[in-house]
């Protein structure tokens, strides 16, 4: 006893370190290793006391640590706020999310398959190897068709829309939606291991029953009831809107679920980033040229010059700009009078998301969501992102074009 009292009296605590190390975590268990090093000063020297704990956090606690809300639960909670909702939209979005999980797996394997030489016309089983974008197209179509909530799908990969028969006999729960999608956006980037994505857009059908018609498919962007995209990047992230804000979910591979990671996303009003393929400069209109020149000039008071960031995958460029602020442009040029991007598969869904996040989107003159489509594969120039930047681009275009 005397010895202990003497020891305590003679030492002085001069510091301590705590190192927390997660050594094992999955859906059910969560172990944390904690090291504490206490530094004490004795009369003539320093000593260390190392303490080590292994702390087990039960499933219940770990669920509280992760902001544990699955995509499906989030959609259902949103849908419950609408009294007349039938739950079909939640199911349809779940069908899309399931297909995207499968695509994500396949995207991650793509490089490996290439290295092992399984690509070509036939695989080792003698089956035809599908290009990843065709594979993504098929898996999305199949997943939605099996779900029974759609009367037509329209894909960038198909020549025209695919009408789909009702599979439910219940006439109240008939296939009331149409889905448009770009199954794999930025597909030229696959082999370089650069982020790619899927874009989708959902409308209510106009006809009352049976397989969908071209009128069901050719609706104005403003009529979308939900839209979203998935980025297959360093992690897989799904962002969607059903007209009540924009929400992002990250795929947790250990759980196999999209978990809420970005609630109520808002794009900064003004940015410091522009994304455009400047290789097309010589072919642009005067207004577009002058706007890009303006962004590159030096002027501290307006935050110029802007930084140029261009991945070449629209979803990846859009996603970065949504998080940090930015303007993405694919203008019309001398060779492509209507630009490159497709109204129904790319511009409309991303414009719905941009507006819901407080941003803006136009073809340089007209709001994208107001364009009345004439054909399924129609193209449009696109200026999308931070509100003030898009307005500025429109100003240059109206002044010089």
Q: How far is the CB of 186 from ligand AHG (least distance, A)?
A: 4
Q: How far is the CB of 184 from ligand AHG (least distance, A)?
A: 6
Beta strands per DSSP E along 276-378: 307-308, 327-330, 360-362
| Size of the residue set binding ligand AHG (CB under 6 A) | 11
Sign for the pseudo-dihedral over CA of 374, 377, 381, 386: positive
Residue 276 neighbours by CB under 8 Å, 6+ apart: 292, 308, 310, 328, 329, 330, 331
CB-wise, 99 or 184, nearer to Mn ion? 184
Q: How far is the CB of 375 from ligand AHG (least distance, A)?
A: 17
314 is an interface residue for ligand AHG by CB under 6 A: yes
Residues in region 217-246 near ligand AHG by CB under 6 A: none
Q: Count CB neighbours of 96 within 10 A.
A: 25
Q: Stretches 142-150, 178-186, 234-242, 382-390: which one binds Mn ion (CB under 5 A)? A: 178-186
Beta strands per DSSP E along 205-280: 226-232, 236-241, 246-252, 257-262, 273-275
**313 interface partner picked from Mn ion, ligand AHG, none, CB below 5 to 8 A per type:** ligand AHG
Distance between CA atoms of residues 173 and 288, nearest Å: 48
312 is an interface residue for ligand AHG by CB under 6 A: yes
Residues in region 127-156 near ligand AHG by CB under 6 A: 156
Burial track 135-163 (b if 16+ CB lie within 10 A, e otherwise):
bbbebbbebbbebbbbbbbbbbbeeebbb
Q: Which residues pair with 21 in a beta bridge?
A: 33
Beta strands per DSSP E along 306-401: 307-308, 327-330, 360-362, 382-385
Q: Which string of x and - marks every residue 133-162 that binds Mn ion (by CB under 5 A)?
A: -----------------------x------
- Helices of type H across 35-87: 59-65, 71-80
**78 interface partner picked from ligand AHG, Mn ion, none, CB below 5 to 8 A per type:** none
Distance between CA atoms of residues 56 and 54, nearest Å: 7
277 is an interface residue for ligand AHG by CB under 6 A: yes
313 is an interface residue for ligand AHG by CB under 6 A: yes
340 is an interface residue for ligand AHG by CB under 6 A: yes
Nearest alpha carbon to residue 170 among 83, 86, 82, 72: 86
Contact residue for ligand AHG among 78, 95, 185, 363 (CB under 6 A): 185
Distance between CA atoms of residues 320 and 290, nearest Å: 24
For residue 321, give both structure tokens.
């700009």
Contact residue for ligand AHG among 187, 261, 361, 362 (CB under 6 A): 187
379 is an interface residue for ligand AHG by CB under 6 A: no
Q: How far is the CB of 182 from ligand AHG (least distance, A)?
A: 5
Contact residue for Mn ion among 78, 185, 216, 252 (CB under 5 A): 185
Q: Stretches 14-22, 162-170, 182-190, 354-362: which one binds ligand AHG (CB under 6 A)? A: 182-190
Contact residue for Mn ion among 182, 257, 355, 363 (CB under 5 A): 182
CA dihedral of 343, 344, 346, 351, whole degrees rounded to 10: 80
305 is an interface residue for ligand AHG by CB under 6 A: no
Longest dimension (CA), the chain: 93
Contact residue for ligand AHG among 147, 186, 212, 233 (CB under 6 A): 186
Q: Which residues contact ligand AHG by CB under 6 A?
A: 156, 182, 185-188, 277, 312-314, 340
Q: Which residues contact Mn ion by CB under 5 A?
A: 156, 182, 184-185
């Amino acid at each position: 006893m005397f010895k202990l009292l003497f020891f305590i009296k003679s030492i002085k605590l001069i510091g301590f370190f705590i190192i927390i190390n997660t050594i094992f975590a999955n859906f059910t268990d969560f172990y944390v290793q904690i090291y504490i090093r206490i530094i004490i000063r004795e009369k003539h020297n320093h000593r260390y006391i190392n303490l080590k704990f292994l702390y087990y956090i039960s499933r219940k606690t770990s669920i509280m640590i992760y902001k544990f809300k699955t995509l499906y639960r989030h959609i259902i909670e949103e849908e419950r706020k609408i009294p007349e909702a039938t739950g079909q939209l939640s199911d349809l979005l779940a069908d899309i999310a399931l297909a995207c999980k499968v695509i994500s797996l396949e995207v991650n394997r793509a490089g490996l398959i290439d290295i092992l030489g399984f690509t070509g016309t036939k695989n080792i089983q003698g089956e035809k190897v599908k290009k990843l974008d065709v594979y993504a197209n098929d898996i999305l179509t199949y997943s939605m068709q099996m779900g029974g909530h759609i009367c037509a799908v329209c894909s960038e990969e198909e020549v025209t829309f695919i009408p789909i028969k009702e599979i439910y006999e219940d006439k109240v729960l008939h296939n009331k939606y149409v889905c448009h999608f770009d199954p794999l956006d930025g597909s030229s980037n696959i082999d370089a291991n650069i982020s790619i994505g899927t874009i989708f857009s959902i409308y209510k059908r106009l006809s009352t029953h049976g397989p969908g018609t071209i009128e069901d498919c050719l609706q104005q962007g403003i009529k979308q009831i939900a839209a979203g995209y998935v980025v297959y990047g360093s992690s897989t992230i799904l962002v969607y809107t059903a007209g009540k804000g924009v929400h992002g979910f990250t795929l947790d591979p250990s759980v196999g679920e999209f978990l809420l990671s970005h609630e109520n996303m808002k794009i900064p009003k003004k940015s410091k980033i522009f994304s455009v393929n400047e290789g097309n400069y010589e072919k642009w209109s005067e207004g577009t040229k002058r706007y890009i020149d303006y962004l590159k000039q030096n002027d501290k008071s307006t935050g110029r010059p802007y930084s140029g960031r261009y991945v070449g995958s629209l979803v990846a460029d859009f996603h970065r700009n949504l998080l940090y602020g930015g303007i993405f442009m694919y203008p019309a040029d001398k060779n492509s009078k209507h630009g490159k991007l497709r109204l129904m598969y790319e511009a409309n869904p991303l414009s719905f998301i941009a507006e819901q996040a407080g941003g803006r989107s136009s073809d340089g003159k007209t709001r994208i969501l107001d364009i009345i489509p004439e054909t399924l594969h129609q193209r449009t120039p696109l200026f999308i992102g931070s509100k003030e930047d898009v307005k500025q681009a429109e100003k240059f275009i109206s002044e010089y074009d």
